[in-house]
A = this chain, B = another copy of it.
Amino acid sequence: MQAEIITIGDEILIGQIVDTNSAFIGKEFNKFGISVYQITSIQDDKSHILQALKEAEANADIIIITGGLGPTKDDITKHTICEYFNDTLVEDKSVLANVEQIFSKWSSAPLLDVNKQQALVPSKASVLMNHNGTAPGMWLEKNGKVFVSLPGVPYEMKALITDQVIPKLRQQFHFPYILHKTILTYGKGESALAEDIFKWEEALPSFIKLAYLPSLGRVRLRLSGKSQDRKKLEEEIQKQVDLLLPQIEDIFVGFEEDKSIEAILGERLAQLGKTLSVAESCTGGKIASSFTENAGASRYFKGSVVTYATETKVDVLGVSQEMINKHSVVSKEVAEAMAKGVQKLYNTDYAISTTGNAGPEKGDSDAEVGTVWIAIATKDKVFSDVFNFGTLREKVIGRATSKAFEMLFKEI
């Protein structure tokens, strides 16, 4: 069973926003056996929307349309869908009630006519009530194909996909058994890893597919199989995993598909009853915010400091000015003193620190742009390492953050 996702909005094509919706839908659909055949992003333009709908109908069984449902004039999706289905808009009382309720509860703005127009839906559509916003989801069918139009606001779209679209699809269609096993590795590049496991990969049975999913510092190996014989598929994937693991022992982190290494780290710390604090200079709060993005961070994360200006390393973390003068602010000594300083300040079992130069210009140190010292403090030791993460600021911050997670992970 195949789906196509059509995302509508000039703002996507002119690059004002990044389309994160498609990735979410692709991931959720994949879990239960719907492959996304294509993602197509197009402008708020009637003829182009009509053409995209037609092409998608030819290629896919399920067509998900996101965006273009807002109240302002540059959104024309709803009218175009009406034209495609040879339908007219009618006011839906339940949607109108939802719009009114949302305005009375969350908004200090008055309810305007443009907002009330959100209650207009094609007469042939089943409404998917949007509890997080005013634009409803709409489910339509044509020639055995399902068309679902959803608002483009990510958290509204997500709730509608999870709570309404997927349950309705599962009810309506029969899905084959699909199994994914994702293996998270850290600290080795894609091609070196591919070379290591080349023979194993060659010998995979044809109904199991392997994908390399690299991102900063890590590679996910994803085995996917689809079959009517659930038991055989499970056994075969397990067998392949058992063959693989001894070959990647030193870089294996876990089997988590969706979880980041910092989420896994956090859970491990919480399980062990251990606590963490962070002192950041060049990463500027990125390490702390990566941990605290995950629910439940308060179980292990006690706090952090960003000591961006050099003197704050002295004032807040108690790093000695003499040490900074002698070794420079980007040095092994300062990194380790920062880790120990923050560990003491927040009284934690573990601490991470970073000090470096993210660029684009040199700062309070002679260190080359991209040079970063990362230190880890545990209850009985402190150690550190130095890296050069290149000259692009965004990349230096990202790679330093990722490497800090990797260093702490190896320690726990």
Q: Which residues of A contact B (CB under 8 A)?
A: 10-20, 22-28, 30, 35-43, 48, 70-74, 106-107, 109-110, 112, 114-115, 132, 155, 188-192, 194-195, 201, 210-215, 220, 222, 278, 283-293, 295, 297-298, 301-309, 312, 315-316, 345-347, 359-361, 363-364, 390, 392-395, 397
Contacts and interface: CB of A to CB of B under 8 A. Distances in A.
Contacts of A11: 211, 213
Contact of A15 (B14, B22, B315, B392): B22
A359 B297 CA distance: 11
Nearest to A202: B73
Contacts of A23: 12, 15-19
A218 to B, nearest CB: 12
Given A212-B74, A309-B298, A312-B302, A27 B39 contact: no
A220 B74 CA distance: 13
Contact of A295 (B39, B43, B345, B393): B393
A201 B301 CA distance: 50
- What are the 6 A-B residue pairs with the smallest beta carbon separation, nearest first? A284-B292, A15-B27, A285-B288, A15-B26, A285-B289, A39-B41
A214 to B, nearest CB: 8
Q: Indicate the member of A19, A155, A303, A308 with the most B CB atoms within 10 Å.
A: A303
Contacts of A70: 190-191, 212, 214
A133 to B, nearest CB: 11
Given A22-B41, A40-B40, A286 B289 contact: yes
29 contacts: A11-B211, A13-B36, A14-B27, A15-B25, A15-B30, A16-B220, A18-B23, A40-B41, A72-B190, A73-B201, A74-B210, A74-B211, A107-B189, A109-B188, A109-B189, A109-B191, A112-B192, A112-B195, A132-B390, A155-B392, A278-B306, A284-B291, A285-B290, A285-B291, A285-B292, A292-B306, A303-B307, A303-B312, A305-B305
A197 B390 CA distance: 47
Given A15-B24, A18-B18, A27-B16, A72 B212 contact: yes
A394 B292 CA distance: 10
Given A12-B22, A14-B222, 16 more contacts: A13-B36, A14-B26, A15-B36, A16-B222, A17-B23, A39-B41, A40-B40, A70-B212, A107-B189, A114-B191, A283-B289, A284-B289, A285-B286, A303-B305, A303-B306, A312-B346
